[in-house]
Structure 1
């Protein structure tokens, strides 16, 4: 029984790889020079397209059966000139195939909004703008949605400080919430990097019980 299940799993994986290879060839033929790369890894197809052809590429995929928009996000690579990967995941429900589509973007050049291709992309693009600072040209309402008004920076960038730039507190005298620069007072902190299971040069709490 186990051997039959393993054989079925192997057959399914082989069929899936064949489907993805055929899909990759079909996309490359349909989009031509707009496809910068198409790779299959871990039984997943990832297609990188030219940012200038972002909307035509997504429209082609939608009309080719990928009618289900799953999500949109970004990945930050600070060392690159175009530091962001804009990533879209799509589903073809009829063929039961999924695809990952990427384009490269920087901090100043907008990527065309895909809201007219998939209306569901609206909030996902706003989230990518808020968290990463990716700009989407033609978006109907590109405002922050998770951070506060006047928030400085984009929290999911890898160069954003873990502590943030400001901290908030309620001021009893002013009777309102105030923003202040983040302060990390180190002089009152003591750090012990020794594991309690390792031999320390001093008596740890509870050690006195071992001598009784």
Structure 2
């Protein structure tokens, strides 16, 4: 961790909050990190509700607003998923991040009883990553279609082999069809747009013919 003397005033304030968190959260807290002007608390999965309640109600914190719950996938780890909670304290004008790890099978306690805003956030994490939230009142997909199979933001989710749903003007109804990747996702051209590509791009054939004429 960076030396205290080189921290900005905002980072010094976060360092104070970090020290208080060590005292208040005890063994539930695994690690604190201050980087890029942000404080992250890594906590035990089974203690997440106790941690969030303390951070919400203790006068030293008063993080009354849950701004977001999101996920991240690291397939090479035994507990491949991070579940990340972003909290805001209006009283102290501070934001912090609380993080835990889990896998495909181990559920995370739902925070909907502490923060109503967790309802849709947790549904999104379930929909995109397949993380289970125990005690959630309505854990179902929120961004994908009802019959969708798999979890799109997992790193091992294939780009092909699934169906997509769209509204068809021709049929005047929602239809399902195989996913059609309209560009090669693994072959990007990083040439400067000012220099231009050294070949004819799809759709530019007529412009090239006009130049030659």
**TM-score, structure 1 as length reference:** 0.77
Match of 1:154 among 127, 151, 163: 151
Aligned-CA RMSD value: 3.2
CA offset digits 1:155-189 (Å, max 9, x no partner)? 1112112346114576x99x975545546799xxx
**Total equivalences in the alignment:** 190
Structure 1: which 4+ aligned runs deviate by more than 6 Å?
A: 183-186, 193-196
Structure 1 residues 164, 31: closer, same or farther in 2, change over 3 A?
farther
**Structure 1 unpaired stretches of 5+:** 1-12
Report the Cα offset of residue 36 of structure 1.
Answer: 1.1
Match of 1:208 among 204, 209, 212: 212
TM alignment of 1:67-86, pairs within 5 A: 67-86=64-83
**TM-score, structure 2 as length reference:** 0.77
**Structure 2 unpaired stretches of 5+:** 1-6, 200-206
1:92 aligned residue: 89
Structure 1 residues 93, 181: closer, same or farther in 2, change over 3 A?
same
Match of 2:51 among 53, 57, 61: 57
Report the Cα offset of residue 54 of structure 1.
Answer: 0.8
TM alignment of 1:23-38, pairs within 5 A: 23-38=17-32
Which SS does the other structure have where 2:86 is aligned? strand
Match of 2:131 among 120, 129, 134: 134
